[in-house]
Amino acid sequence: MENMKSLFIILFVSGVLFSQTTPLTLSTTVFVEEEIKDIGGMCSLGCGISWDISATSHLPEQKGNTYAASNMSDGLISTAWVEGVKGIGVGEKIKFDFGTKYFESNGEIDSINLNGFRILNGYSKSEELWRNNGRVKKLKMYHNSNLIYIIEIQDKMQLQEFYFPNIFLKKDDMIVFEIIEVQSGEKYSDTAITEFEPLGAH
């Protein structure tokens, strides 16, 4: 009987640990079926607040084209963030920081309601560039240092969204995405994201 109790306790603890360390997988859905020409007028969390976006690398400027992380939040499909490391970009991270710009200018508000993200995957300036460059297939999503979701992104040149239960971000909180799988481009080893923006109440 004691052996059975011990086995039950081991299985229960193992199950709890597994549930705590295995993040839920979320898949994107297509938000707009038709060809995207401009997303600057579409409402997101950016309608009410601002944020800082950064990445662990970006491709250097070439022929007047820039590839910085800020391109993912400029509302333009003619620009994109392109990672700048050797290889296809697995392990590169994108960071959303809401603290500096938002909480310091809104002293009476102590949290932000975040419940999703919208993404235009790949280099969507043209169909040729989209095919030739890599696109993200899977991301790890962290709230600060805690891994909370795995995000699966469809390999489509369309605006996509994914949602999750509300996360109430406090000052100095960050949301970080890490690339863990990529759809390789037909010509270049670079991986790109055209737009990436948070969604939530504001």
**Residue 185 placed within a domain:** yes
Report the share of the chain in percent with pLDDT over 70: 75
pLDDT value at 173 more than 70:
yes
**Residue 1 placed within a domain:** no
Report the share of the chain in percent with pLDDT over 90: 65
Which pTM was predicted? 0.83
**Residue 72 placed within a domain:** yes
Q: How many domains does the chain have?
A: 1
Owning domain of residue 61: 24-199
The mean pLDDT of the chain is 84
Do the beta carbons of residue 96 and residue 105 sit within 8 Å? Answer: no
Distance CA 129, CA 192 (A): 10
The predicted structure's pLDDT at residue 18: 40
**Residue 16 placed within a domain:** no
For 143-167, what is each residue's pLDDT tens digit?
A: 999 999 999 999 999 999 999 999 9
**Residue 6 placed within a domain:** no
For 191-202, what is each residue's pLDDT tens digit?
A: 999 999 999 865
Do the beta carbons of residue 122 and residue 83 sit within 8 Å? Answer: no
Query: Looking at residues 100-116, what average pLDDT do you find?
Result: 73
**Residue 124 placed within a domain:** yes
Residue 78 phi, psi dihedral angles, 5° rounding: -85, -5
Enter the DSSP assignment of 169.
E
Helix, coil or strand: residue 149: strand
Q: Extract the tokens encoding 92.
A: 């590169």
The predicted structure's pLDDT at residue 105: 62
Where is 176: in which H helix or E strand?
A: strand 174-183
**Residue 174 placed within a domain:** yes
- Please count the CA atoms within 13 angstroms of the CA of 160 that sit on its side-chain side: 22
**Residue 3 placed within a domain:** no
CATH code, domain with 182? 2.60.120.260
Where is 96: in which H helix or E strand?
A: strand 93-97
Buried b (16+ CB within 10 A) or exposed e, 119-143: bbbbbbbeeebbebbbbbbbbbbbe
